[in-house]
Structure 1
Amino acid sequence: MARNDKVIRTIRLSETVSPFGPGALVDILGESFMAMTGDEWPPASVRSAVSCDRLATKLRVDELWAAPSSGEPDAPKTPGLEFARFPAWLFCQECRRMTRWTRMMESGSTPKCPDCEGRLVPMRFVTVCATRSHADDVPWPDWVHRAGSGTCDRKDRLRFHPSKGAREGLSALQVSCDACKTTRSLGDLRGDVLVRDGFTCRGKQPWEREWGNCGKPLEVLQRGATSLYFGEVVSAIDIPEVEGREAELDEQIRKHPYWQAVQSGNAAILDMMVDELAAVLEPPADTIRRRILALTSDEPTLQDTKRSLLSEEFEAFAAAIAGSAPAQDFVTRVERRSERTPAGLGDVVLVDRLREVRATIGFRRYTPEAQLVPSVPKRPMERRWYPAVEGYGEGIFITFDSAAVDAWAVQDGVQRRAGRVESNQEGSMLGSRLHETSPQFLLLHAFAHAIMRELAFVSGYSAPSLRERIYCESTGDYGVFIYTTSTDVEGTLGGLARQGEADYLTGVVLRSLEQVAWCANDPVCSESDPQSIDGLNLAACHACLLAPETSCESFNLLLDRAMLVGGDGFDGYFQKAIESALDVSISAMS
Structure 2
Amino acid sequence: MATQKPVIRSIRLSETVSPFGPGALVDILGESFMAVTGDEWPPTSIRTAVPCDRLAEKLGVDEFWAAPSSGTPDAPKTPGLEFARFPAWLFCQECRRMTQWRRSLEKGAAPTCPECEGRMVPMRFVVVCTTKSHADDVPWVEWVHRPSDGGCRVRDRLRFKSAKGGGEGLSSLEVSCEACKSSRSLGDLRGDILSREGLLCRGRQPWQFEGSGCGGKVEVLQRGATSLHFGDSVSAIDIPEVEGRAAELEELIRNHPLFGVIKTNPSGALLDILVDELATNSSASADAIRAGVAALVGSTPPLAQAKSSLLAEEYEAFVAAAKGAAPAQDFVTRTSAIADGSSNVADLVGSLLPGVVIVDRLREVRASTGFRRYTPEADPVPSVPPKPYEKKWFPAVEGYGEGVFIRFDGAHVDGWASDTHVNARTAQIAAHQEGSVLGSRLHEASAQYMLLHSFAHALMRELAFRSGYSAPSLRERIYCEAAGDYAVFIYTTSTDVEGTLGGLARQGEQPYLGQAIVRALEQVAWCANDPVCSETEAQSIDGLNLAACHACMLAPETSCESFNLLLDRALLVGTDRAPGYFSSIIAAVTEAMIEQG
Name the TM tier (shorter chain).
over 0.9
- Residues 109-118 or 381-390, more deviating: 109-118
- Residues 253-262 or 75-84, more deviating: 253-262
Q: Distance in 1 between matches of 2:516 and 2:65?
A: 38
Q: Distance in 2 between matches of 1:295 and 1:8?
A: 49
Q: CA deviation at 1:266?
A: 6.3
For 1:336, give the aligned amino acid.
A
Aligned to 1:95: 95
Q: Distance in 2 between matches of 1:530 and 1:230?
A: 24
For 2:318, give the aligned amino acid.
F
Aligned to 2:233: 233
Aligned to 1:554: 562
Contact 1:5/1:106, CA 8 A, preserved across alignment: no
Question: Is 1:372 equivalent to 2:409 in the alignment?
Answer: no
Question: Is 1:436 equivalent to 2:444 in the alignment?
Answer: yes
Helix, strand or coil for the counterpart of 2:370?
strand
Listed as ranges, the gaps of 5+ residues in structure 1 are: none
Superposed, which structure 2 residues align to 1:455-466 within 5 Å? Answer: 455-466=463-474
Tell me: CA distance 1:136–1:6, structure 2 relative to 1, closer, same or farther (3 Å): farther
Tell me: CA distance 1:299–1:155, structure 2 relative to 1, closer, same or farther (3 Å): farther
Aligned to 1:331: 332
Aligned to 2:29: 29
Aligned to 1:146: 146
Q: Distance in 2 between matches of 1:451 and 1:375?
A: 33
Tell me: CA distance 1:380–1:263, structure 2 relative to 1, closer, same or farther (3 Å): farther
Q: CA deviation at 1:529?
A: 1.6
Tell me: CA distance 1:584–1:271, structure 2 relative to 1, closer, same or farther (3 Å): closer
Q: CA deviation at 1:5?
A: 12
Superposed, which structure 2 residues align to 1:286-435 within 5 Å? Answer: 286-297=287-298, 301-336=302-337, 338=339, 339=341, 340-341=346-347, 342=349, 343-435=351-443
Q: Distance in 2 between matches of 1:103 and 1:154?
A: 20
Q: CA deviation at 1:414?
A: 0.3
Aligned to 1:114: 114
Q: Distance in 2 between matches of 1:71 and 1:8?
A: 13
Q: CA deviation at 1:298?
A: 10
The alignment yields a C-alpha RMSD, in angstroms, of: 1.8
Helix, strand or coil for the counterpart of 1:472?
strand
Question: Is 1:507 equivalent to 2:495 in the alignment?
Answer: no
Q: Distance in 1 between matches of 2:585 and 2:108?
A: 62
Tell me: CA distance 1:382–1:299, structure 2 relative to 1, closer, same or farther (3 Å): farther
- Residues 471-480 or 328-337, more deviating: 328-337
Q: Distance in 1 between matches of 2:324 and 2:262?
A: 39
Question: Is 1:541 equivalent to 2:549 in the alignment?
Answer: yes
For 2:327, give the aligned amino acid.
P
1:531-569: CA deviation from partner (whole Å, max 9, x where unpaired): 111111000111111111111010110000111111121
Aligned pair partner of 1:528 in 530, 536, 547: 536
- When normalised by structure 1's length, the TM-score is 0.96
- Residues 577-586 or 158-167, more deviating: 577-586
Helix, strand or coil for the counterpart of 2:522?
helix
Question: Is 1:20 equivalent to 2:20 in the alignment?
Answer: yes
Q: CA deviation at 1:408?
A: 1.0
For 1:479, give the aligned amino acid.
A
Contact 1:397/1:480, CA 8 A, preserved across alignment: yes
Helix, strand or coil for the counterpart of 2:485?
coil
Question: Is 1:516 equivalent to 2:517 in the alignment?
Answer: no
Q: Distance in 1 between matches of 2:65 and 2:321?
A: 30
Tell me: CA distance 1:169–1:344, structure 2 relative to 1, closer, same or farther (3 Å): same
Percent of residue pairs identical: 68
Q: Distance in 1 between matches of 2:338 and 2:96?
A: 67
Q: CA deviation at 1:263?
A: 4.4
Aligned to 1:248: 248
Tell me: CA distance 1:301–1:568, structure 2 relative to 1, closer, same or farther (3 Å): farther
Tell me: CA distance 1:583–1:298, structure 2 relative to 1, closer, same or farther (3 Å): closer
- Residues 5-14 or 516-525, more deviating: 5-14
Tell me: CA distance 1:72–1:276, structure 2 relative to 1, closer, same or farther (3 Å): same
Q: CA deviation at 1:160?
A: 0.5
Q: Distance in 1 between matches of 2:214 and 2:444?
A: 34
Tell me: CA distance 1:218–1:289, structure 2 relative to 1, closer, same or farther (3 Å): same
Q: Distance in 1 between matches of 2:180 and 2:31?
A: 30
Figure out how many residues of one structure are paired with residues of the other and give that number: 586
Q: Distance in 1 between matches of 2:258 and 2:413?
A: 36
Listed as ranges, the gaps of 5+ residues in structure 2 are: none
Helix, strand or coil for the counterpart of 1:360?
strand
Q: Distance in 1 between matches of 2:401 and 2:439?
A: 31
Q: CA deviation at 1:76?
A: 3.5
Helix, strand or coil for the counterpart of 1:428?
coil
Q: CA deviation at 1:44?
A: 1.1
Contact 1:5/1:107, CA 8 A, preserved across alignment: no
Helix, strand or coil for the counterpart of 1:519?
coil
1:158-210: CA deviation from partner (whole Å, max 9, x where unpaired): 00011122311111110000000001011111233212210111110000111
Contact 1:283/1:474, CA 8 A, preserved across alignment: no
Q: Distance in 2 between matches of 1:379 and 1:258?
A: 38
1:370-407: CA deviation from partner (whole Å, max 9, x where unpaired): 11100001111111000000000100111111111111
Q: CA deviation at 1:291?
A: 2.8
Q: Distance in 2 between matches of 1:374 and 1:552?
A: 23
- Residues 315-324 or 244-253, more deviating: 244-253
Q: CA deviation at 1:245?
A: 1.0
1:390-436: CA deviation from partner (whole Å, max 9, x where unpaired): 00010011111111111111111101001111111111111111111
For 1:247, give the aligned amino acid.
A
Q: Distance in 2 between matches of 1:284 and 1:347?
A: 22
Aligned to 1:486: 494
Q: Distance in 1 between matches of 2:7 and 2:34?
A: 13
